[in-house]
Amino acid sequence: MVADVFSRTAVRLALGFAVLIAATVIAVFAIIYWQLSSELEQRVRLRVLENLDALSAIDSHEGFSELAEVVSAEANSPRAIENIFLLVDKDGQFIAGNVEGIPEFQGWRALKVTDYKRLIGPKEDRDRYFAFWRRLSKGMLLVGGNDRDMRHVSDTLLGGLIWGLAATALLSIAIGGTLAYRAQNQIDAISTTLAAVAEGKLDRRVPPLKGNADLNQIGSQINATLDQLQRSIERSNQISTDIAHDLKRPLGRLQQRLDTAMRSAGTEAQLQAAIEASLGEIGVIVETFDALLRIAEIEAGARRLRFTMVDLQQVLIDVAEVYQAVADDAGDTLISQLAVTEGAMVFGDRELLVQLFANLIENAIRHCPKGTRIVLALHEERTSVVAEVRDTGPGIPLEERDKVFHRLYRLDKSRSTPGSGLGLSLVAAIAELHNARIQLDDDSPGLRVSLRFQCGSGLTKL
């Protein structure tokens, strides 16, 4: 459980931040300490030099013996706690002072209690003395100033540092813990939801989570994905049911036909007719399967590997040429309005694009009454080519426009015409494969199907 806690991102983050903050605090304290102590050391040295100057002045103005008097007095005064004094003659023999036993040295030196012998004052002393020897007329004078102020400062700083660090650590752990706890709750909520979904409860969703915006975003993303998943599962369930339904009807008819043929010992011609009709029913079934498989293949997207640059205008010209006569025979009119001058190159599969437009035109011919005017149009926009198939037929009610792309969906009024209900699904699948946006609009009257293709090789990025 402990290892578990430490493997959590939030906890690790919190600890990481705690270490970082501690390091920062220590660094800041170190800088302050360094600056303060050098400043204080400077002051101590100044004090020592002032003392030396004052005492040297006595030596030069009033004589060495007067100096010895003064040093002796200083050594006995209360100020001697903060300073050490040592006056020696030319041979280094003690004359006056509160310490002894310090050999001559050049420049500054920090003296510890072991470096000298205290004559007056406390024998135990934790202070260090910044000391300096100065040569005088008849001897040498050492003055040292202690670093007690510096020690106080560093003690204070150290105390502050410890408390600061403790507070930082506590705060970090508290915040980290809270964050980890909250994140854990949210992650638990997400994983519980996903586990439930995996068990088949497709309607479960991640509850909205307070606090962590990132996790909340992931939560809503998961919910959106689950919505999509649920929809597509429901759709595929629906499709299975629809396929079963759609196939049951022709299979039922087939069974009846064969049964009748078997039981009524008819003439050879009658039997022949029954068999032919049965083969027709089988043809319908096979066709439905073929269409389903083709849609599945297109949706799998492998055909993109065979994409080439295709002139959409030429595709429409070819399709129009084929269907002009078909429309004429059906009592309709097919008109091309191709407003593209230099051809409209799109990246795609010619065979499928032909099928797409053939499908749309056939839909118009088959589902519209005689005398319908069908327009096949193409025009360019800034970065896209828009192909349209318009008709003056009954159109598709607004609320059904989305559904017509679903597999096996058929408008009630088209139930009477033969068809699998897969034509527009195929159209949608082909459009999607080509990254083309498909839209159904009311052409008042009639239906307008428009397909917006990206110009040129814009699709190569797929």
In whole angstroms, the minimum distance from the beta carbon of 10 to another protein comes to: 50
Question: Which region, left, alpha or beta, applies to residue 447 given φ > 0 means left and ψ of -120 to 50 means alpha?
Answer: beta
In whole angstroms, the minimum distance from the beta carbon of 458 to another protein comes to: 24
Share in percent of the chain as helix, strand, coil (round to 5): 60, 15, 20
In whole angstroms, the minimum distance from the beta carbon of 400 to another protein comes to: 20
Structure tokens at 142: 């050492």
CB closer to another protein, 46 vs 286: 286
In whole angstroms, the minimum distance from the beta carbon of 269 to another protein comes to: 13
CB closer to another protein, 62 vs 321: 321
DSSP state of 98: S
CB closer to another protein, 5 vs 273: 273
In whole angstroms, the minimum distance from the beta carbon of 262 to another protein comes to: 21
CB closer to another protein, 66 vs 297: 297
Alpha-carbon distance of 246 to 139, in angstroms, equals: 124
CB closer to another protein, 132 vs 347: 347
Query: C-alpha angle with apex 359: 356 to 362, nearest 5 degrees?
Result: 150
Alpha-carbon distance of 379 to 313, in angstroms, equals: 9
Structure tokens at 281: 């029913």
Structure tokens at 78: 């209360």
In whole angstroms, the minimum distance from the beta carbon of 256 to another protein comes to: 21
CB closer to another protein, 186 vs 288: 288
Structure tokens at 210: 């307070």
Closest CA to 361 of 316, 407, 310, 419: 316
CB closer to another protein, 184 vs 324: 324
CB closer to another protein, 142 vs 352: 352
For the residues of 403-431, what is the DSSP string, one character each?
A: GGGSTT---GGGTTS---S-HHHHHHHHH
Angstrom CA distances, 52 to 59, 133, 143, 147, 411, stand at 10, 9, 6, 17, 112
Length of the chain: 462
Angstrom CA distances, 244 to 252, 288, 289, 384, 414, stand at 12, 11, 11, 40, 19
CB closer to another protein, 358 vs 385: 358
Structure tokens at 44: 């101590």
Q: Give the footprint of another protein on this chain (CB under 8 A).
A: 276, 279, 282, 286-287, 289-290, 293-294, 297-298, 302-303, 306, 321-323, 325-326, 329-330, 351-352, 354-355, 358, 362, 365-366, 418-419, 423
CB closer to another protein, 97 vs 419: 419
Is the preceding peptide bond at 445 cis, omega within 30 degrees of 0? yes
Question: What are the helix and strand counts (H, E) for the chain?
Answer: 9, 14
Query: Do residues 46 and 145 lie in contact, with contact meaning Cβ atoms separated by under 8 Å?
Result: no
Q: Would you tell me how many other CB atoms lie within 10 Å of the CB of residue 247?
A: 14
In whole angstroms, the minimum distance from the beta carbon of 275 to another protein comes to: 11
- Determine the distance from the C-alpha atom of residue 226 to the mean position of all C-alpha atoms in its chain, rounded to a whole number: 19
Query: C-alpha angle with apex 440: 436 to 445, nearest 5 degrees?
Result: 145
In whole angstroms, the minimum distance from the beta carbon of 363 to another protein comes to: 8
